[in-house]
Amino acid sequence: MTSWLRYLVFGIALLLVLWAAFGRNGMLHHWRLNRDIDRVERQIRAVEDENRQLELRVWRLQYDPVAQELAVRRELGMVAPGERVFVFPGKKP
């Protein structure tokens, strides 16, 4: 095999390797896609966890009288008959 043919074969092989690594659907592209998939899956898990917490809060507000009373006191600022509310300057009740 002549030397120029060896260089040609080596050059073609190098181009194929570079194309496989960095081409449009190369390994680098697949690595980025896998990274994006992992990120989206983490986001999905976080949203599912938040959804479970909100479902539990909704259930408590529907069926738990203690949770209902706490929510009414906190969000609406209501008090039971006979209770006294002390409001200090600079503090929210």
pLDDT tens track for 16-63: 877 777 777 778 788 889 999 999 999 999 999 999 999 999 999 999
Closest-CA residue to 32 (of 8, 13, 24): 24
Q: Are 66 and 72 in contact (CB under 8 A)?
A: no
At residue 93, the pLDDT reads 52
What pLDDT, on a 0 to 100 scale, did the predictor assign at position 88? 84
